[in-house]
Structures are given as structure tokens and as C-alpha cells.
Structure 1
Amino acid sequence: MAVEAGQIDKNIEIKLLINFSIEKVSNLPHHVCSILNGQYRDIINSELPAFIKAISNDDSIKEIVDNSISETDTHLSWFCVGIASLLYFAQCNWTGPHIDKDIEWLKTRRDEALRDLSLHDECNINVQKSELLYLSKKIFSNNDLQLKYESCIWWLFRANLLHQHILDETSGVIFEETEHIISQINNLGILKDPLYKLLFNLESARFYLCYRRMQNSEEYLENAQSIAGLTLNLEGAMGKRTKYQQEEKAQLYLKVEMNKDIFPSMDCEDIPKSLNLNDELRLERIEFSEYKEEIQLGALEEAIILAKYVQLQTCQPKHKLTDEEIILYLTKIIENTKNWSLKMTSLCCRCSLESDDKRTVERSMMQTESLLKDCNDATAPVARRMDLFFASGMKPIWTLEENWANLMFSLGLVKGALEVFIKLGLWKDVIICYSVLNLKHKAAEIIQQEISKKPTIMLWCLLGDVTEDVNHYETAWRLSEEKSSRVQRHWGFYYFTKKDYVEAVPHLKLSVKLNNIQEHVWFRLGYAALQIEDWKLAATAYRHYCALEQSTFEAWNNLAKAYIKLGDKPRAWKSLQDAIKCNYDRWEVWDNLMVVSIDLGHFSEVIRCYHRILDLKNNHLDIQVLQILTNAIINNIIDADENSASHLLQKSLELFGRITSSNIINSPDIWRMYAELVALRETDTDKERAAQYLQKAHHIATSNPTWSHKEETTLNVLELCCTLAQVYLRCTNNVTVIKKRKMLGSAKLSLQGVVKKIKEQEWNNTNIIEQLTKVEEYLTTITNELEQIKPT
């Protein structure tokens, strides 16, 4: 295939993106062959002699790259070197096998690379050959190269994805830059091909999952599923899951359906092996009574299923039942994939999922150890490890080692875990290990030793945490040239832990100003602001947190509280709606929503909230809310949706019926309101029910012998007596004489007892005397009515 100098065929660009060719590799240009064969180091060393010579000068790599591309016709060489550098960097830090040897002429720029990539904080200390990522980013950022090669911007997107993984901090700078890149890639012509559109949607979903942007990731993942014609459903079937199980029971399985042909992919012969559970009780896999036909999937379709697992795990609360559902997605990949990256990632995910279960934790640790060996085993070809690497969500090798150490720690192998933590520079975990070993003083010593070797921002911060000396934070702040969000976070957390919220707030504010996608910092800033009653700051902080992490009900609830304090109840109401979506089982949140709903006139929502509270705690009494609801229905108030509240009469009666069904309800106000609502229906039966409920209210109100000693309770009883008399007089108009005599007699006794009790107290209170006079008038009317129907 003839290719002119500086040019590259679009089909070859695409082959480089998917990392394989259906044709014979030997038919492609030399540069491309080397990349597809995994010979990354050869390309970097051989293609740019002029660049290698220029690197010895003091010019920055960006200047050298830009000048060389603009002055010479070496676009193809630069493009291939950029790809080779990025993939070589991935090999060194992700896929393996391990490479000790440096590219000497490029190694001289490692410090420059680390400074640039750190973004004012620090790269992970375990990152290998950072100059390779630095070089690739400078190459792919070149405007001339982006104009020449359509896929250049896509490679920059991939470089940014790896860049985020080598940072200890989640970077807002990378996030914003990459979102812009994604919008550019969406307009590329190569996305007209379904294969590349699917691949891009997968990689974009992975990017957003990295930042926990669930809505964005779901959108791209749904696009990928649609393009692949893939349908995933959890269904039930009879089967056994334990060795001694006699009776089959319904078991979940993942049903996968395809309405399109699978996309092409390359198999890898030497993929990581899945270790057996070897449990004395559980079967290795569920045995279904009926054969479940497995449809053939390609690697791209498997990558969708794996991404779906990560999305479900991230957005759903941690629960054993949830794990039972989502592990089916992992099992599908583990048992079927022939892709190295997907097998490695799915097994890592299973290790993480199984790490909290006593029956599976041992396999989790052994599997992690096995995967570490697989990374360093040179059997699997380098090129095949890169297939779908950017769509797999694979984590760096040091993350796998950290998981291994955590598993050892959980199993009580503290010294073994400590060695790995020290090797990885995970000083927080080192401190925990020394505390468990009763050697806490050693933690400060080892951090000071590391500082003496090479002082870093992180080490000074951790020394501040261990010694509780804020001077160390000041040292770290100066070392970062006053640009590190990490320093301000540690400093703020120091005061936050001591509940000194006034001091904590300025440091937390500065930390999120320097890096605005720190979820846990926004959350603590919001809480600290609530404590010092800075409602505006609290609302801002929780609003930012909820934009980043939408599944924490405490944040939505606290955001609502801040809005209420600011007098913005409509926004508080919306926040509480989000809070109950996150946690449907906290009655306190439902109570808050109910109170705000009653204030805003969302009366139907008030009834829904009250029912849910009763579901959660059996009984609940909020007289104020029920009184407002009752008044709204009686007076036919227009609600927040511009509907008449009277249409809620039946639902409100159902609610009062449920409240009064509890034996512990001894509130006269509840029965009085219930009676008022029942009376609205104006049937003879309902009038009698209203009278009965008022009689119960009267009985409860007068059951306390001291009710007549207090002005408030005395007035309440007198008012209740007036209402009782009115209802009895109304409901006895169309009844039999015998029934009328019985009902009026009951009313007379109730009123006489109250009048007698109040007169014994000799009240001089004007209000009481006025109300007492009204009751006496009703008593006279009832007595006269009884005289008229007195039997002769």
C-alpha cells in the first residue's frame, strides 16, 4: 500500500484506533505495522532523529514538537510516535509486562513531564515513565496534526483519560478539557461508521464513570447498547446454587439478546485465568434445571456489559442483594471473553466485589495475586493486551497492588500489607497498619524519613495529620507555590475533625476553588457552613456536591434545610424530592418534605408523605400539618397545582382513618378534625359519624382531671362542646324520636359535666366566660328539644 510522505489513509487511522487489522499486517506501512505488533519502543527510538538531537537543548518538548511539525513534513512520524508513546506508557503502568529499561534520551525530561502533568498537586508516586504520556499529549495537542489526522483528537481524549488515572486528585481541569474534546469528536466523520461510533460511546461512558457522572455515562452507554443491538435483562429460572441443595429455587440469570451481527474483534490465547472458589458449600456457578442457550458475543459487546456492571455498582446503594444482581454481568464476561483487558478488568471487579464476604475473600486475595503475576508474565502478546484497553476501564497496576494489600490487611496479614503499602507510598494506610501494630510513633518517623529523601506536598500533609501540627500544612502550602487543593483540604479537615468549623471553612473553600470536583470536600464544606449558619455558602456547597454525587440523601436534605433558612421553599421542596429518591426509607426526610409541602400548598404530597411516614414508623402525630390540611379542604383552598383542595376529601378521610386506627392515638384534635371532614359529606350517616368522633374527642379532652385548671385546655373543651352541640342538633333533624332522645341526652350529659366543672373553678377570664355562656345557651336549646319529645 503506497502512502505519500506525511499522509495516512483514513482506513489506517481507523485500524490504529481499534488496534488490529483484518488484513495481513505486513501490507501496512512500517510505522503502523510496528504499532499493531506492539513494538512501541522501536518506533519512539527510530522515527525522529532530529527530535532526539534537539531534546538535549533546554527547549520544552512542546516547543520542539510544534516547531518540528510546522517546519518539516514529518506529520506521519509524529502521529505514530504519539500513539506509540501513549501505548508504551499504558504497557508500563497498566497492562505489563514490566519494563525496567528507560528511553534514555527522553528520560532527561521526566521532571519537566511530572511538573506539567501534576497540575499543581502531585502525580501518583508509582507512575512509571511519565515522560511518555507527556510526549504523547504534546503531540496530540498540536493543531497542525489535528487538522491532518481526524483521529488525532480522539487520541488526545485517550491520553487525558490516562492522565486522570495517574493523579491522586480528581482534576476539574482535565474534566472540562476532555468534555470539550468529546464534543469535538462527536462531529468527526469516522463516527458515521457504527463500529467506531460504538467504540467512542463506550470510551466516553468510561470517562464519565471515572468522574461518577452517572447521567452522562448512562447516556453514552445507552447509545452503545443501541448501536450494538444489545438487550440486557435479569430474569428468573429454577436452579441450585449450593452443593447440598435438594429443592430447586428461583435463581437470577442475565439474559442477553442481540438483533444485529457482532462487531469484529481479536481473540487473545493467553488471557488471565479465573480461579475456582473451592467452597465447601457453594457451587462454582448456578446449576439451572433447563439449559440456557448462550448467544455468541464479540469483545465490544462484552465491553458494554462490563461498563453496565460498573455503572450499576456505582449508582446503586451497597447491599448484598444488589451484589447478587450485578455480579451476573461480571460472570458473563469472566466466563466468555477472549479479550485480555476485559478479562483482567472483570476479574479485578470480582475481587473487589468478593472482598467483603467471608466465603469469597480468600479467593479474592489469591485471584488478585494471580492477576499481578499475569501482568508481569510475558506470555500474552503486548499488542493483544491493548485491544479495547481504553474501553475496558482497566485500573493501573499499583491500584491492583493496593487492593491486594487491603485484602491481606482484612485477613489479618498486617505486616505483609504494611510492606506493600510502604512500597506503594500509601502512607495513610501505613499509619493505620502501625496503629494496629501499636507502633503509631513509627508512622511519623517513616514519613519524616521519606521527607528527608524527597519532600513532597503529600508527605508534609500526612505529617501534619499524624502530628496535628498545622505548621506542616503551611510548609506544604509553600512547597506547592500556594496552588495545591490537597494542602487546603488536609488543613480544612484538620479543623473540621476538631469541630472548629469557623477555621475549617476558609481552607475548604480555597480547596474547592482550586479543584471544584472534590465531592467529599464540598460535602464537609456544606456541613461546616450549616454549623456556622452561613446558609448561602451551605446551599452553594451542597448544590455542588449534589451535582457531582446525586445519590446521597443527607446532602439533598441539608441542601433543603439551607434553602428553607434562605426563605426559598420551592427549591427546598425540589431538593427533598431528590432526597427521597436516594433513600426511600428515612422517615425524617419524608417529614421534612411534608412540612415544606404543607407550606407550599402541595396538599396531595402532604397526604403521600404522611402515609409513607406511617409505613416506616407505624404511628406519627403532627397536629399542625393535619390542621392546615383540614382547613384547606374545608375552605376549598386552591393548591400549588391550581386545583381545589376539596377534591382531596376522600384521600384525607383515608389518612385520618389510618391515623385513628392506632390504639395509642389520644388526641382530641385528631378526632375533632376527622369529624369536621366527615361532616362535609352531609349524609345522615356521615353526620352521625361526625357526632360519634366529636364525642370521642370530648371524652379524650375531659379524661384528664386537671383540664379545667388551665385556660388553654378549658377554652379548647368549651369550643369542642359548641361544635358537638351544633352537630348533634343538625343530625337529629330527620331521625326517629327514640334515636333523637338518645343522642340529645348524650349531648346534654357531656355539656352539663363541662359547665359544672368550669363553674367550680370560678373563672374570671372574659374569653372563658363568653364561651361558657355559648355552651350554656346550647345546653338550654338541647334541654328544650328534649322537653318537647319527652314521653308522656
Structure 2
Amino acid sequence: MALDIQALEKNLLNCKWTDDVQGPAWLTVLGKNVVEGAFREVLTSAAARELFAVRQSNADLAEQTLDVLFQFTSPSAQTAGELECLRLVLAVVLLHAFLQVNWTGPNLELKPVDILSVPDDYKDIITDEFLNSKSIAELAYGGEPAYHLVEAPFFLRLSRLLLDQPFERCTSAIWWKARVWAVHEHVIDEPVAPPEDLISYLQSWSKNITSETDLTGRVLLEEGLFHHLLEQDRQAAELFVRAARATQLKFELTGALGKRTKFQQNDVTQLVLLAESRRRDTDLAPVEVTPSTSVTEERKALPETLKLNDDTLLERTQFISSNPAAPGSLLAHLDPSSQPPLDPLDQCILLAMCLNIKNMSPAHGLTSEQMAPYVDRVIAHARNWSVHTMALLLRSRLEANRTRTVERSTLQLQALVDQMPTADSTVTERLAYIHDLALPSKWELQRELAQRYFALGVVRSALEIFERLEMWEDVVKCWQSLEKPDKGIAVVRDLLEGRKAETDVVIARGKAASEGRRQTMDAAHEAKLWAILGDLEPQNALEHYSKAWEVSGGMSGRAMRSLGGYHFARGDYQNAIACLRKAVAINPLLTRSWFILGCAYVRAEEWQGAKEAFTRCVSIDDEDAESWNNLASVFLRMGEAGQKVEVENDGDDEVRCLS
């Protein structure tokens, strides 16, 4: 039977299986199992084990990268199209298995070695520890280390290797490659620019699916979220609006009469978001989420929505039944107190717009007031587990700085952390919209909870979480807050000198090698520890930062940023320029590095370099007022062809540099 590649790709992208996919039974069964969340069946299938057969080599495996272990061929695939589809299906299932383990839960009882066909000669070498440690090292990118406690990193690394293979027939592979890159960005310490052609290829390919309304909206939304991740907010905002237009989502932020407190006598104007999705054939009845709703079987499949229980504020704004939209509005027929449920994809778009309001508005009360209607509109009708989780997380962030809501904010965040290991909803539901949300990973969510505790002064509880997550930079901050900086220094030194093991995995690896041998770690992670030690011991900072650069093999952006700051603070501007030049070459997305580099050029009176650095600052963040001011001042000091101009310094045009 001829293989319908486009139908298979569409099912994988929509995360919904239809029976119209034509092709070999073994391949369509694999595709259906991926969509339905049966990851173990797919990854342990005969076709998968053929593709993941480790080839033998005379070279030392410890010195080889993971890509040389595989040829990614399968006798089951009779044609080039079948082989490409098999690679794509397995790349998708590996990515989703990684997301299940590290983002949505529940736990996946599947180890990396379970999916490989390993020759007998290699079974003592190729272990879970070997594969995961190799993957952590190879996932370090752009001078940024990967988080060392990420679970099953081999799944993500193998998914990337599969998608790096040539695809001529499966055109959606470029979209999946962009999704893998987006997940990869969350695994490393700081965002790094992706390959230059990735987004452009995705944009070119997306023009071919304009007839698929929701798929077009999804690709625009995910492209916007990618720009949001890289802090390119203006581009993100435009893409979110285009995504709403593509899915035919109608929305309007307006005012309506209502009450916000229990003792309010008169109705006053309250912000409300009117929104309506287009009618879809698959529309389902929503679960109405209100604080007074009893716990039913339907509610158990959703994240717990905590009550406010305040003596003054109402749980939700009570609007009077009226039509607040302006005359002629497309939403004039909507009642703000009883709006229709939204499609989950449209809910994702509204939450993305809410994120962008936060980034593109000043940090004052109006920002929270603008964001709240977006979040409330999504929370009112729960349609999907992950979407509802994201909405509750955003509400928790909004309520963190208000006295009457800070308690619920923290408890809600704790409830979201606790729900991850549970199996109260299906894997399919949790992953259906995971790529369309800015949902943090498990460790990012736990770190956010620890930071909330730290901000509230509950430092000991924050310290316990940071230590469990082995986020040593935050552990050090906690010890400093407790006025015990020596303990922070001792932690870092113990890690570097092998007296303290980071995980049971590291201990097991150390014992397997030699009982008396010091445990080793990947170069990027070790470099980060040396840089942290340099921050803690200013008297030896130069030595520690240099050591960090050395052990990283000249790849640690963190080390060079620290060295540049060290020389700048001591007035050694030429060395600061040299170090920061290397830092921005490794990771050009960090505005702070470009800004300090520009200031160093100014102090050295090298105006051309200063112009370049501040230009990069404003190209990354076009609302960086300080960089714009400095750039204007630099231009005043430049003549034609970049030569110096003598300008009287009356104080008005002074370049604002770091002291």
C-alpha cells in the first residue's frame, strides 16, 4: 500500500490520529502509538531497534561522539519515503518522551539502553550513565552548559541527531527541528541564537500550509514563542496577532460594569477581555472552573485551582449582564458574565499575548491589570490540562506582589509543582499543546517556587529546594543571605575537588571507574563552577575565571563575561574589550555583555567599537533607553568615516557607563 506521507505528518503535528492514513501497517501503527502516547511500544518496536542499532568500531567509545554510533537505517523501510517517515516518527516520540519526563509528567519507566540494540562487546560500556553523560556534554551549546540533572537527556540528543538527517519527502521535519531547538534552549543556562537558516526555512515551509487554518496559527504562534524566548518581543507580538488572525480568533480588551470586592455597593467599570473562537467540528463541552465547583470526576483531570478565601476580594469579578463592546464591534453580542468557551489553541494564543504584555510594558500596576483579563478568560473554561496549568502559573505570578493574594500565589505554585508526577490526565492531553505554551520545565518550576520562598524571606525552604536541584549559584546566594558565605564557598570547592558528589548517578559512575578516583564532570559544567568560585573569592577572581576558561577549552561564555567584567571594574579597558569580544562571539544574544563592551570602548575612546556595541544592544532590545542614549552620545563624538570629534562635555551628552 502506498504511503500517504502528508497525512501522517498532519496527524503528528495535530497530535490527533485519523484513520485516513494510508501506508504499511507497521509504520501507521507506530504513528498512531506516538499520537496516543504509547511511547514504550514505539521505542521498543522492532523497527526502532533496527534504526537504533549501535555499530561496532575500533575507536575508543569514550572519545567518540554519539552520532558515530548510529547509521539510522532499517531493513523494515522498503523505500526512501518509508525510511524518512520512520526517522521522523521516532524523532517525534523521542522528543515527546523527553518532554513527558521533564515537563508534563507522569514519569516514564523507560531507560536509554532499553531502546538500543547493543553488540555484546559494548554492553559493559554503553550504559545509561554513559549515554546520559555523553548527551549532557553534547547538549552544551554556544558556551552555555546544559542542566546536569535533566532526566533522559539521551532522548533529546537522539531526537536532534535524527532530525539532522536529510529529509526530502517529509517536509514538516523542519518544524519538528525548530521544536527540538526550542526545547534545547530551555535545557541550557542562557538562550543562544539558533542556526541562522532555521527560522527562515520554517517560514518558507509554513507558506505551503495556509489552507490548514489551525496549523498555520500554530506555526505562527510557535515562531512567536521562539522570538519571545530570545527576548525579541516586537517580532513576537506581531506573530501572536497573526496567529490569532489565522485561527480566526476574535478578541477585544474593553470595560464592563461589575464588582470586584464583597462590600462594593455600586458597579464600576472593570477591565474584561471579550473573546470568541470560530466554530470547529471537534468542539467539546468545557469544564466550568469556579471556586464553588465541587470536586467531580471531570475536575480530577485538571490541575487544582485554589480558592482565594479573602475577606474583601471576590473570587472572580462579577459583571452585570450587558454588552460592553463599542457599537459596530464584532463582539457586541457577548455577555461578559457568560462568555462561550474558547478552543485550546486560541487559549494558547491569548496566554502568549499575555506574556508579551508583560515584556513590552513598564513594571507598574497597569501591567498586571492588563494581563489579568487574559488569564481570567482562559481559567474560566478549562479545556486542556497543560493550557490550564499555564494559566494558573501566570495567575500565580501576577498575584505574587499583592498582599491579599500572595498566599494563594505561593500555594498555587506549590500545587502545580506537586501535580507533575501524578497520572490524573492522559499523556496525550498533556502533550497536545505543549509546543504552543511557554510552560517551564519541572526544574524551572521548582526553581521559581524556591525563588518565591526566597523573596518572602523563607530562605531555609528555598535553600533546600536549590540544594535538591543542585543549582549551586542559587545555593550560594541563600548562604550569603543567611550571612554564612563561607558555607557557599565550601560547597563549590567540595564539588570541584571531588569531596562532594552531585547525584547518585555521578557516584555510581565514580565507583564503577575506581573507588579512589575523583568523580569527573563535563567541561562546561566544571567551568561554571570555577566562575562561581571566582564570584565568591574576589581576591582570587582572576585566577578562577582564567581556570574556568581553560577547563572549558575556550568555550565558556560565562568565564569570558566574568573576565571582561573583572578587567572593566579595574580600569583595564583593553583587556576588558578583548575578553568581552570573545564573550559576545560565543553568545551574541546577551545585551549586558554588549553594553559593558560598549562602555569599555567609550572609556578607551574607541568610538567605532562603541557604536557597534551599542548598536547591537538596541538591535536586540529596541526599547533599551540607556543604550539608545549612549549610542546618540557616541555619534556626537564621531566625525565622518568614524573619526573623533571634539565635543564640549557639558554633562548633557555624557555616556552612562558602569562604575
Same fold (TM over 0.5): yes
Deviation at 1:424, TM superposition (A): 1.9
In the alignment, residue 32 of structure 1 is paired with which amino acid?
G
Look up the equivalent residue of 2:111 and give its one-letter code.
D
CA contact (8 A) 2:174 2:201 kept: yes
Are 1:8 and 1:76, in contact at CA under 8 Å, matched by a contact in 2?
no
> Matched residues in 2 for 1:22 and 1:30: separation?
12
* Displacement of 1:220: 1.9
**Is the 1:157–1:181 contact (alpha carbons within 8 Å) kept by the matching residues of 2?**
no
Residue number in structure 2 paired with 1:181: 201
Aligned amino acid, residue 531 of structure 2: C
In 1, Cα distance between the equivalents of 2:72 and 2:31? Answer: 24
- The Cα of 1:261 is off from its aligned counterpart by 2.5
Please say if residues 486 and 511 of structure 1, whose CA atoms lie closer than 8 Å, have aligned partners that are also in contact. Answer: yes
Task: Name the residue aligned to 1:154.
Answer: 175
Note if contact 1:546-1:556 (Cα within 8 Å) is conserved in structure 2.
yes
Task: Compute the displacement of 1:337 (Å).
Answer: 3.0
Pick from 151, 155, 159 the counterpart of residue 128 of structure 1: 151
Q: Deviations over 1:89-130 (max 9, x none)?
A: 111111111346522255343233223221243101232111
Provide closer, same or farther for how the CA distance between residues 511 and 240 of structure 1 changes in structure 2, counting only shifts above 3 A. same
Residue of structure 2 equivalent to 1:458: 528
* Aligned residue type for 1:62: D
Residue 82 of structure 1 pairs with residue 113 of structure 2: no
Give secondary structure in 1 for the equivalent of 2:168: helix
Unaligned residue ranges in structure 2 (runs of 5+): 117-127, 288-297, 322-334, 499-519, 643-649, 655-659
| 1:33 alignment partner in structure 2 | 32
SS across alignment from 1:376? coil
State the match for 2:48 in structure 1. 48
Partner of 1:515: 587
2:99 aligned partner, one-letter code: A
The separation in 1 between residues aligned to 2:598 and 2:441, in whole angstroms, is 33
The answer to whether the Cα contact below 8 Å between 1:51 and 1:64 also exists between their aligned partners in 2 is no
Q: Secondary structure at the match of 1:511?
A: helix
Q: What are the within-5 Å matches in structure 2 for residues 326-337 of structure 1?
A: 326-337=371-382
1:289 matched to 2:308? The reply is no
Which amino acid in 2 is paired with 1:131? F
Tell me the equivalent position of 2:599: 527
State whether residues 258 and 319 of structure 2, in contact with CA within 8 Å, keep that contact through their aligned partners in structure 1.
Answer: yes
1:542 and 1:556 in contact (8 A); partners too: yes
Any conservation in 2 of the 1:340–1:384 contact (CA below 8 Å)?
Answer: yes
- Contact conserved, 2:90 with 2:159, CA < 8 A, in 1? yes
Secondary structure in structure 2 of the residue aligned to 1:283? strand
Is the partner of 1:155 in helix, strand or coil? Answer: helix
**Does the Cα contact within 8 Å between 1:306 and 1:330 map onto a contact in 2?**
yes
Residue identity matched to 2:213: P
Question: Is the Cα–Cα contact under 8 Å of residues 526 and 537 in structure 1 kept in the other structure?
Answer: yes
Residue 492 of structure 2 aligns to which amino acid in structure 1? Answer: I
Is 1:12 paired with 2:8?
Answer: yes
Deviation at 1:16, TM superposition (A): 0.9
Within 5 Å, give how 1:389-428 maps onto structure 2. Answer: 389-428=434-473
Structure 2 CA distance for aligned equivalents of residues 390 and 296 of structure 1: 21
What whole-Å deviation, never above 9, does each CA across 1:567-620 have from its counterpart, x for those lacking one? 3799xxxxxxxxxxxxxxxxx99x769xxxxxxxxxxxxxxxxxxxxxxxxxxx
Q: Distance in 1 between matches of 2:627 and 2:556?
A: 26
Paired residues of 1:170 and 1:211 also in contact (CA < 8 A)? yes
- Percent of residue pairs identical: 27
Deviation string, structure 1 residues 379-417 (Cα, Å, up to 9, x no partner): 211111001110112111111001110111122211110
1:21 equivalenced with 2:17 (yes/no): yes
> CA shift at 1:552, angstroms?
1.8
Q: Secondary structure at the match of 1:362?
A: helix
Instruction: Confirm or deny: 8 A CA contact 2:255 2:270 kept in the other structure.
Output: yes
Please tell me the residue identity of whatever aligns with 1:561. S
- For the pair 1:204 / 2:223, whether they are aligned, the reply is yes
Partner of 1:622: none
CA distance change for structure 1 residues 35 and 102 in 2, over 3 Å: closer, same or farther?
same
Q: Which amino acid aligns with 1:103?
A: P
Task: Give the counterpart letter for 1:274 in structure 2.
Answer: T
What is the aligned counterpart of 1:506 among 578, 581, 592?
A: 578
Q: How far is the alpha carbon of 1:222 from its aligned partner?
A: 2.0
Q: Distance in 1 between matches of 2:31 and 2:314?
A: 47
Residue in structure 2 matching 1:213, options 222, 232, 253: 232
Aligned with 1:54: secondary structure? coil
Given that 2:5 and 2:170 are in contact with CA atoms closer than 8 Å, whether structure 1 keeps it comes out as: no
Q: Distance in 1 between matches of 2:407 and 2:99?
A: 29
Equivalence for 2:212: 193
| Closer/same/farther in 2, CA of residues 443 and 100 from structure 1, 3 Å limit | farther
CA separation of 1:340 and 1:175: change in aligned 2, threshold 3 A = farther
Contact 1:41 1:84 in 2 (8 A): no
- Per the alignment, do residues 273 and 509 of structure 1 end up closer, same or farther by CA in structure 2, a change over 3 Å counting? same
1:489 partner letter: R
Give, in angstroms, the shift of residue 503 of structure 1.
Answer: 3.9
Task: State the secondary structure of the residue aligned to 2:251.
Answer: strand
Of structures 1 and 2, the larger Rg is shown by: 1
CA distance in 2, matches of 1:214, 1:197: 20
Structure 2 CA distance for aligned equivalents of residues 405 and 212 of structure 1? 24
SS at match of 2:305: coil
Cα distance change, pair 532–373 in 1 and its aligned pair in 2 (3 A): same
Change (3 A) 1:175 1:560: farther
Q: Give the secondary-structure state (helix, strand or coil) at the position aligned to 1:169.
A: coil
**In the alignment, structure 1 residue 114 sits paired with structure 2 residue 136:** yes
In the other structure, the counterpart of 2:253 is 234
Q: Which has the higher contact order (CA 8 A, sep 6+)?
A: 2
- Following the alignment from structure 1 to structure 2, what is the Cα–Cα distance between the partners of residues 466 and 210? 30
Amino acid at match of 2:73: S
Are the aligned partners of 1:65 and 1:138 in contact in 2 as well (CA < 8 Å)? no
2:266 aligned partner = 247
Partner of 2:608: 536
What is the rounded CA distance, in whole Å, between the counterparts of 2:75 and 2:619 in structure 1? 42
d(CA) in 2 for partners of 1:264 and 1:541? 52
Secondary structure at the counterpart of residue 505 of structure 1: helix
Alpha carbons of structure 1 residues 30 and 274: separation in structure 2 relative to 1, 3 Å: same
Task: Name the aligned partner's letter for residue 242 of structure 1.
Answer: T
SS for the counterpart of 2:253 is strand
In structure 2, what is the equivalent of residue 757 of structure 1?
Answer: none
Q: How do 1:678-693 and structure 2 match up within 5 A?
A: none
| Cα distance in 1, alignment partners of residues 104 and 384 from structure 2 | 12
Residue in structure 1 matched with residue 161 of structure 2 by the alignment: 138
Q: 1:277 aligns with which of 308, 312, 319?
A: 308
What corresponds to 1:443 in structure 2? 488
Structure 1 position 368, deviation (Å): 1.0
Contact persistence 1:117–1:134 (CA under 8 A) = yes
Q: Report the Cα offset of residue 354 of structure 1.
A: 2.0
**Residues 573, 600 of structure 2: 8 Å contact kept:** yes
Deviations 1:165-188 (A, max 9, x none): 11112212x25243233234234x
Q: Secondary structure at the match of 2:101?
A: helix
Specify the SS of the correspondent of 1:250: strand
CA apart distance, 1:265: 6.7
Kindly report which structure 2 residues correspond to 1:634-673, keeping only aligned pairs within 5 A, or say none. none
Distance 1:498 1:70 in 2: 64
Q: 1:309 aligns with which of 354, 359, 365?
A: 354
Contact preservation (8 Å) 1:126, 1:424: yes
Contact 1:171 1:517 in 2 (8 A): yes
Mapping of residues 453-602 of structure 1, within 5 Å: 453=498, 454=520, 456-468=526-538, 469=540, 470-497=542-569, 501-567=573-639
Q: Which runs of 4+ in 1 moved over 6 A?
A: 24-28, 265-268
Q: How far, CA to CA, are the matches of 1:568 and 1:417 in structure 2?
A: 55
| Most deviating of 421-430 and 87-96 | 421-430
